[in-house]
Structure 1
Amino acid sequence: MTELGQARKLRNYIAGEFKDAADGRTTEIINPATGEVYATAPLSGQADVDAAMEAAAAAFPAWRDTTPAERQRALLKIADAFEERAEELIAAESENTGKPLGLTRSEEIPPMVDQIRFFAGAARMLEGRSAGEYMEGLTSFVRREPIGVCAQVAPWNYPMMMGVWKFAPALAAGNTVVLKPSDTTPASTVLMAEIIGSIVPKGVFNVICGDRDTGRAMVEHPTPAMASITGSVRAGMQVAESAAKDLKRVHLELGGKAPVLVFQDADIAAAAAGISEAGFFNAGQDCTAATRVLVHESVHDDFVTALAKAAADTKTGQPDDEDVLYGPLNNADQLAKVSGFIDRLPAHAKVEAGGHRVGDKGYFYAPTVVSGLKQDDEIIQNEVFGPVITVQSFTDEDQALAYANGVEYALASSVWTKDHGRAMRLSRHLDFGCVWINTHIPLVAEMPHGGFKKSGYGKDLSAYGFDDYTRVKHVMTSLES
């Protein structure tokens, strides 16, 4: 709130200027740590989408024709500016999400800056097959080019970081961007627009705020050549359906239900500690969160005891509390969703820790462990997206693999064992885009992030993620002329 007790006013960023929605509509933005309104944001409509797309399209030819070195310099300046204004970004993100200030400072700003710098380097490392004479008298070579205008939609669980994952490779490749943050978390994205807009030409980077209808209008707009979304499976399917109408490229990073396989030779104490942190971090609001543990029957009880203790020792609370691991769930609907999963647990399930809301202010939920579950239980098959870790037991490696792969999601997984051969076998057969061994959740800019099945397609991060924002053109020339 401002000093006058009025909510702060956020605005769209289009063609280098901050603007209200064309029809003046706004929506209230709530701080999930307090449950109180702290800002208003535009509820953008078709006219706003049109204006943003027009700006991005107008800026594209000149940005496309910049050299890789020029784009690299721009991204490096953006990374430096993010570092210099880190405290502003942290404050905005904490208001957005209720995340702990200290953890946002240590766990989000450094990788965001590193990822921008990685893509700055990638801009100058475009790869293609060497030119050659594959037919007599003719020389062929490959051009790798930017796609055009990219319509991008970021989620509410990591508004800043997912924004970076989208705009950095797109701009590095020579595309222009229209980015929409989630309707519940626009503050940090609007601040990023201010920073980025001071560095790149007007129209290269645009931000419009709004709801699902705004996002749908972006995807259905005839201007973008690509639509990219990080969100729910339902949202991804809707984007794919809308994009299919004019054959836009689609980049989807959707839900997850990561299996965590703990074998009898694992260090149980270390596994429980690592899995607890990877499951509860960010209130479990992470598509890769370690939320579905499969543990060998011989060590099941010991593991559950250790995990329940780790949960009991985990603290949630206000952003300025340095002792908390995570803050609130993002919104009232998400709190109701997580609570509903626990309320509907079958009789054979047992809540070993947590299982309840914390306090009556904000959307906090206790670190929760549930055991005694079966493979076809709702909470095993569906993404909870909250601080809830489930535990199942298995008898052997084949059953563990069957349980692990027996869901519709396929984003991330981990194996906890001292047996190298077992780890290698499972890394081959686990049907997930990432397999960690004796750890869970670390990401690096150089390695791809993305899933299979209903977790979507396309890669974030790495050279693979950069390639997704380019197109390949074959050029052939006669040697006779």
Structure 2
Amino acid sequence: MTTALRRLRNYIDGEFRDAADGRTTEVVNPATGEPYATAPLSGAADVDAAMAAAEAAFPAWRDLIPAERQKVLLKIADRFEERAEELIAAESENCGKPIALVRSEEIPPMVDQIRFFAGAARMLEGRSAGEYMEGFTSIIRREPVGVCAQVAPWNYPMMMAVWKFAPALAAGNTVVLKPSDTTPASTVLIAEIIGGVLDELGHPRGVFNVVCGDRETGRLMVEHRIPAMASITGSVRAGMQVAESASKDLKRVHLELGGKAPVVVFEDTDIAKAVEDIATAGYFNAGQDCTAATRVLVQESIHDEFVAALAKTASETKTGAVDDEDVLYGPLNNANQLAQVKGFIERLPAHAKIEAGGEQVGEKGYFFAPTVVSGLKQDDEIIQHEVFGPVITVQSFADEKQAVEWANGVEYALASSVWTKDHARAMRMSRALDFGCVWINTHIPLVAEMPHGGFKKSGYGKDLSAYGFDDYTRIKHVMTSLDG
């Protein structure tokens, strides 16, 4: 007996719709490897409809006073709390994530982030009005940019959707959001929640729209004439394609791309505590995090002790079913990602040593064991390229100078961490590390008030914080004569 697949639909101008041409894709639960839903494979007609709805809704939404937009966002946050169990179930099915961890590690920060941006809506900043030329007064207006085309990734579908729509809506923009083709379920539920709030408070339905689809759908969104801004969280390749497409009509671009975070561990570190925290930050969400602590550089005097302790911790770390409260992470998101992680392991050079893991786990789904690889060199593929899986590499460095050289010696520049009891060394390293975030004696905590974003091939623009809010605004100078 075959179970009928659930039908997900686009959300355009306040209505749930199938793709105009009826095309769909199957959505697979990565914990089972089996399809559980279908989603629209949206084409040009669907993108046109969503963009037109967002464009029509923009003037009224833009012209609301900030306090009114704040009310909407605060009510959305309340609804997220009220319907948390539905969101958790959708995200767990989307990604195979452990239910307990989605409940504790994703819902609270998402709600907090929406509320933060609700407040940011009322904190528009600019230089004070004044007379900078005799006889004239200058003022600064901070305005929304317009319609925003946004593309969210599959590693944190719900949270990345929040990082995109919350600052955009708070600033007065309207949104067309595309989830990954492998994880649309929670985003469609978010559309239902936001649409309900907009209806309840009497705001235009086209303020928030969701279009499901693949890379071609995303390309159509970015190249569309209506959006003033394109925002994407994804791979470096995808970011480059978006930047190129957006350049054709000079759209604003906001890119949060890949990472290869160095974790620099000095010999004065508490090894047991560092290993525990680094393993958690490396294996959480199956290592599918651009900031994951998966590239460890350890001072040579403690290298062997550190590797032995990390391998032991890896062997004790569990991956498994979504309802098992003892597991740290679930499966990789899709079959292609599983193949990518396996490929990195299969292509390891002869001088590398697998200290723990290194293989797929279970007979169904896309689970991969917690893995530790040592003996690596700076130019090895697995050091230079993002694995995006539960694989922690370890290199041995001689001194601070070499640590900085190797830490910075990749094309990514999103996040990093330094582990030492020496305050002066920590300050020197935080200055020398060429990354958008430097954690000291910790790795991976984020707060709504502080910016998240990188340099180099990790992209540009900031998520979270007032800086993230500013990215969704434009600056206008208004000058008036005092002569009347």
Give the TM-score taking structure 2 as reference length.
0.99
Q: CA deviation at 1:102?
A: 0.2
Alignment-mate amino acid for residue 323 of structure 2: D
Say which SS state the counterpart of residue 205 (structure 2) adopts: coil
Match of 1:102 among 100, 103, 112: 100
Hey, what does 1:346 align to over in structure 2? Answer: 349
Q: CA deviation at 1:34?
A: 0.2
Match of 1:205 among 197, 205, 208: 208
Deviations 1:139-171 (A, max 9, x none): 001000000000000000000000000000000
Q: CA deviation at 1:362?
A: 0.1
CA distance in 2, matches of 1:83, 1:381: 40
Hey, what does 1:69 align to over in structure 2? Answer: 67
Q: CA deviation at 1:4?
A: 7.4
Matched, 1:169 2:186: no
Task: Choose 430-439 or 197-206, whichever is displaced more.
Answer: 197-206
Q: CA deviation at 1:56?
A: 0.1
Alignment-mate amino acid for residue 467 of structure 2: Y
Hey, what does 1:334 align to over in structure 2? Answer: 337
CA distance in 1, matches of 2:56, 2:363: 49
Deviations 1:14-68 (A, max 9, x none): 0000000000000000000000000000000000000000000000000000010
Hey, what does 1:128 align to over in structure 2? Answer: 126
Match of 2:256 among 253, 260, 268: 253
Deviations 1:160-187 (A, max 9, x none): 0000000000000000000000000000
CA distance in 2, matches of 1:357, 1:106: 27
Alignment-mate amino acid for residue 271 of structure 1: A
Match of 1:60 among 41, 58, 61: 58
Hey, what does 1:466 align to over in structure 2? Answer: 469
CA distance in 2, matches of 1:133, 1:409: 44
Q: CA deviation at 1:199?
A: 1.2
CA distance in 2, matches of 1:296, 1:327: 31
Q: Which runs of 5+ in 2 are unaligned?
A: 199-203
Q: CA deviation at 1:289?
A: 0.1
Match of 2:76 among 68, 75, 78: 78
Hey, what does 1:291 align to over in structure 2? Answer: 294
Hey, what does 2:383 align to over in structure 1? Answer: 380
Say which SS state the counterpart of residue 162 (structure 1) adopts: helix
CA distance in 2, matches of 1:310, 1:278: 12
Q: CA deviation at 1:5?
A: 1.4
Hey, what does 2:201 align to over in structure 1? Answer: none
Hey, what does 1:445 align to over in structure 2? Answer: 448
Hey, what does 2:5 align to over in structure 1? Answer: 7
Hey, what does 2:35 align to over in structure 1? Answer: 37
Match of 1:271 among 259, 274, 277: 274
Hey, what does 2:327 align to over in structure 1? Answer: 324
Say which SS state the counterpart of residue 299 (structure 1) adopts: helix
CA distance in 1, matches of 2:394, 2:225: 47
CA distance in 2, matches of 1:163, 1:385: 20
Hey, what does 1:313 align to over in structure 2? Answer: 316
Matched, 1:141 2:139: yes
Deviations 1:62-120 (A, max 9, x none): 00000100000000000000000000000000010000000000000000000000000
Q: CA deviation at 1:360?
A: 1.7
Hey, what does 2:430 align to over in structure 1? Answer: 427
CA distance in 2, matches of 1:323, 1:332: 24
CA distance in 2, matches of 1:226, 1:21: 24
Hey, what does 2:410 align to over in structure 1? Answer: 407
Hey, what does 2:234 align to over in structure 1? Answer: 231
Matched, 1:240 2:243: yes
Alignment-mate amino acid for residue 395 of structure 2: Q
Say which SS state the counterpart of residue 360 (structure 1) adopts: coil
CA distance in 1, matches of 2:221, 2:465: 26
Alignment-mate amino acid for residue 80 of structure 1: D
Hey, what does 1:361 align to over in structure 2? Answer: 364
Q: CA deviation at 1:359?
A: 1.0
Matched, 1:187 2:185: yes
Alignment-mate amino acid for residue 125 of structure 1: M
CA distance in 2, matches of 1:456, 1:167: 19
Alignment-mate amino acid for residue 70 of structure 1: E
Match of 1:480 among 455, 469, 483: 483
Deviations 1:231-274 (A, max 9, x none): 00000000000000000000000000000000000000001000
CA distance in 1, matches of 2:422, 2:382: 30
CA distance in 1, matches of 2:463, 2:337: 25
Alignment-mate amino acid for residue 42 of structure 1: P
CA distance in 1, matches of 2:371, 2:278: 13
Give the TM-score taking structure 1 as reference length.
0.99
List 4+ stretches of structure 1 deviating above 3 A. none
CA distance in 2, matches of 1:427, 1:313: 32
CA distance in 2, matches of 1:4, 1:318: 22
CA distance in 2, matches of 1:204, 1:318: 37
